[in-house]
Amino acid sequence: MEQGSILKLSPVLGLEQVENHRKHKPEETIVEMYASLRPSLLSYAYQVVGSTGESEDLVQIAFLKLFDQLQRNSHILNIRSWLYRVVHNLAIDHIRRNGIHESAVAEWLSQRSRAGSVRSTEEELIQQQRISDSLRILNERERHCLLLRAEGLSYQEIGGVLGISEKAVSVYLARGLKKFEVQNETCA
């Protein structure tokens, strides 16, 4: 990897320094990235699969795959986006194998929305049902775009994770948000 492309990764990864992994062991690079990216990757994996244990496994597998790629001196332009894509693909494969429903995503969104507020049990159930209803009206791409955007990924990174263009990400986000607005107007 060229020194110039390594320097571009620093702001993307959120690391203070990213040295050329050829100069030091890939293990050191992996440890640094694991410490900084693990929490957000776990959160995304949990959104998709709905299981803390499975999320941990998927993230660990993704980092093992990254380690293999670094050992082979593979050229990865955006490691953060690459890791999200691997976790996304692993999670989708897991869901397909196990037939998991989207209720886990609705539960996660419900927990996230109530983190800063105190609500009655009734209000929480109503909110959870609204989120669940809203998620049902979204197609898979819209749902994944919205979830990845909620995790703070850029349009470019979301496109890389899902294998679509930035323009498509923009369209899916706009459609998904519009469906949310329409659904919530009818519920209000």
Query: Tell me: the pLDDT tens digits for 133-158?
Result: 666 788 888 888 888 888 888 899 99
Please tell me the predicted confidence (pLDDT) of residue 14. Answer: 38
| DSSP one-letter string for 46-97 | HHHH--HHHHHHHHHHHHHHHHHHHHTT---S-HHHHHHHHHHHHHHHHHHH
Please tell me the predicted confidence (pLDDT) of residue 186. Answer: 61
Across the range 24-43, mean pLDDT stands at 84
Residue position matching structure tokens 């993230």: 59
Confidence of residue 7 (pLDDT cuts 50, 70, 90): very low
Across the range 83-89, mean pLDDT stands at 93
pLDDT per residue as tens digits for the range 105-130? 555 565 655 555 555 777 777 776 77
Distance separating alpha carbons of residues 66 and 59, to the nearest angstrom: 11
Please tell me which residue, 12 or 46, carries the higher pLDDT value. 46
State whether residue 168 is helix, strand or coil: helix
Structure tokens at 138: 């979204």
Residue 45, pLDDT > 50, answer yes
Distance separating alpha carbons of residues 29 and 144, to the nearest angstrom: 28
* Domain ranges in the chain with CATH number 1.10.10.10: 101-188
Please tell me the least confidently modeled range out of 170-174, 175-179, 180-184: 180-184
Please tell me the predicted confidence (pLDDT) of residue 92. Answer: 87
Q: If you average pLDDT over every residue of the chain, what do you get?
A: 76
Please tell me which residue, 97 or 62, carries the higher pLDDT value. 62
Please tell me the least confidently modeled range out of 32-36, 66-70, 98-102: 98-102
Residue position matching structure tokens 């894509």: 85
* Domain ranges in the chain with CATH number 1.10.1740: 1-100
CATH class in words for 101-188: mainly alpha
Distance separating alpha carbons of residues 43 and 41, to the nearest angstrom: 5
State whether residue 146 is helix, strand or coil: helix
Distance separating alpha carbons of residues 159 and 166, to the nearest angstrom: 5
* CB atoms inside a 10 Å sphere around CB 64: 12
CA atoms within 13 A on the CB side of 47: 22
Distance separating alpha carbons of residues 65 and 44, to the nearest angstrom: 18
Return the sign of the alpha-carbon dihedral for residues 103, 109, 112, 118: negative
> What is 1-100's CATH number?
1.10.1740
**Is residue 6 a contact partner of residue 117, using CB atoms and an 8 Å limit?**
no
Give the CA angle between residues 133, 139, 140 to the nearest 5°.
110
Helix axes 140-150, 103-113, angle to 10 degrees: 30
Residue 22, pLDDT > 60, answer no
